[in-house]
Amino acid sequence: MGATYDLSGRFAIVTGGAGGLGRGIARALLDAGARVELWDVSAAALAEAAAELGEGVGIRTVDVTDAAAVDRAADAAFSAGGGVDILVNNAGVLGEVKPVWETSPENFQRVLQINLFGAYLVTRAIVGRMRQQAPRPSRVTPHPLRGHVVSIASIQGKEGMASAAAYSASKAGLMALTKSVAKETAQDGIIVTAVTPAAAETAMAREISAERRADILGRIPMGRFVEVEEVARMVLWLSSDECSFSTGGIFDLSGGRATY
């Protein structure tokens, strides 16, 4: 039997919520008793995700690269949820798999816009409002908490990877953003962390060639990709009151690939 967390009464936002990893994280939060709102740019995919996940899920069509749209969505979410306790920055794209001299500036910029700038806009909007809500008594620590922010980075942000300059750079930036915001909110009762998974069995992994897949797999000492449920379990702990002193932490899910 795995560890259990009580998130009843909590309200969570998961960006990129219509994708496989977003759905897996949302399912774990729901199973722990939280209400969850999925944000995604695709209304059709959101509707499908909501139908799959069932009761307790709300959906909101949001382009995370649009500052005004993110602010409107944040206002609506705080109103609907009576506050926001958990933010999971999960929205992301892979981009071109090419050496840097063959990539297009437009694609490089798009990857940074979604993976890094989008996470900045959502974090800015949610954390700014989260700081204004009353701290809630914790169930496991005497220190009141206002919320948790968890960002989905990547092991490629630590190591870099050939033919993935934009993706690697965006995830490295996301880790730095995490550490900076954690320092800014350390005394506000807001815990800000990130995880750095190796490749998971999601739609993003299916975008790559068999040769590229074999290359990535060969870098993971465990010899397999991370399961969506394994990422979700880590996010669940990082979203819970049990995680009360690890702000600014970057947590690996790399099957032994991480070297620092």
The catalytic residue positions are 167
- Calculate helix-pair angle for 118-130, 165-184, nearest 10 degrees: 10
Burial state string for 225-242 with b = 16 or more CB within 10 A and e = fewer than 16: bbebeebbbbbbbbbbbb
Q: What CA–CA distance (Å, rounded) separates 184 from 133? A: 16
CB atoms within 10 A of CB 192: 28
Choose among 89, 77, 79, 67: nearest CA to 19.
Answer: 89
